[in-house]
Amino acid sequence: MTRIERLARALEDPLLVAGPPGILSGQANVCYLCGLRSTNAALLVEPDGRATLYADFRYASRAREVEGVSFVETSRNLLSAVAERLAGRRIAFESAHLPYAGYETLASAGVEAVPTVGLVERLRAVKDEDEIRAMRRAGALSDEIFGALVEEPFAGRTERELAWWIEKSFREAGAAAVSFDTVVAAGETASSPHAVPGARIIEEGLLVTVDAGCVVDGYCSDCTRTFAVGELPARLTEIYALCLKAQLAGLAAVGPGVSGRDADAASRASIEAVGLGWAYGHGLGHGVGIEIHEGPVLRPESTDVLEPGNVVTVEPGIYLPGEAGVRIEDLVLVTEDGYERLTQFPKELVTVS
């Protein structure tokens, strides 16, 4: 059964799958369902399984090659053109992706537009075998680059220089792209979870957090390791050990039937026990796939329940303002009886030069 057919089985009304033009992430559901990567396309899926793909001239040649859909070439103002064709019909749309201005475009053309939430995302959360194979390859490439990274000098280079080395190495090794802007954060810079690499010179005696990933066959990897540059103060070694303990507990909690909330809680216990719960301010993890952030989510407020085929990150962190930060992250496939790590680079504290 195709992805479009699986979606159709869940529909009461035809579903217009569309996102803001010019924003690639807004087109992720179109890509997932039919394989067309674009910044200006829409897909109308009927409850009986028929589907119509709309795209402008720039994507028309590739769109005509998509199997299992009818193709209609539109003007660059795609949504207006689609709305004219759907005038007088009742359709569903993705309220998380189509902005209010898009809804107004549909409504003003006489389309009865009904909001829906998460219909395609629920399919995307459970990866099929082809997706899993792509993500295994992406994880293996991450392992390869991290393995080469530890042979590189850290001290004396800037965070920005090292981040560029990582991104260049991914591309040279065959990745289609990096899956997000690489994070290299030394010392107190790492006390921000989403630190931006800067001109700071990396010095000895610091922890350096590296968060990096790549895209292989359209699917993302995500891995974080924290390294010691030279000899560390005892306190930083202890903080690292505490974060590793939390990460292993989070991993052990992952499995089918486990709630995102419970997996997150398992990773927090050891950190909270020493009074540092405040320093672990984000969730344990998130889904990964075509996009770097997908469902399901592992965090205190999560209502998601893990099932086989989910691919999620397990990434607790400890962030000490003005001092240091530690994060350790694996990409993990939920299996029938537990989990499989898709990133295998070692997690014991590695000292680099």
216 vs 195: CA distance, rounded Å: 25
100 vs 232: CA distance, rounded Å: 52
Question: How does DSSP assign 249-309, residue by residue?
Answer: HHHHH-STT-BHHHHHHHHHHHHHHTT-GGG--S-SEEE-SSSSSEEEEESTT---B--TT
CATH architecture of 129-352: Alpha-Beta Complex (3.90)
Q: What secondary structure letter does DSSP report for 149?
A: H
Mention every residue, 6+ apart, whose C-beta is less than 8 A from residue 67. none
Of 126, 2, 1, 133, give the one whose Cα is nearest residue 66.
2
For 188-238, the pLDDT digits (tens) are 999 999 999 999 899 999 999 999 999 999 999 999 999 999 999 999 999
208 vs 186: CA distance, rounded Å: 4
Identify residue 88 by its one-letter amino acid code.
G
Question: How does DSSP assign 165-194, residue by residue?
Answer: HHHHHHHHTT-SEESSPPEEEEGGGGGSTT
- CATH number (3.60.20.10, 3.50.50.60, 3.30.470.20, 3.40.350.10) of 3-124 reads 3.40.350.10
pLDDT of residue 20: 76
Task: Give CATH 3.90.230.10 domain extents, the chain.
Answer: 129-352
Task: Give CATH 3.40.350.10 domain extents, the chain.
Answer: 3-124
Question: For 243, phi and psi rounded to 5 degrees?
Answer: -65, -40
pLDDT of residue 24: 63
pLDDT of residue 26: 65
Orientation angle between helical segments 129-149 and 159-172, nearest 10 degrees: 130
Core vs surface per residue 293-310: b (16+ CB within 10 A) or e: ebbbbbbeebebebebbb
Parts of the chain with a pLDDT under 50: none
pLDDT of residue 67: 96
For 241-283, the pLDDT digits (tens) are 999 999 999 999 999 999 999 999 999 999 999 999 999 999 9
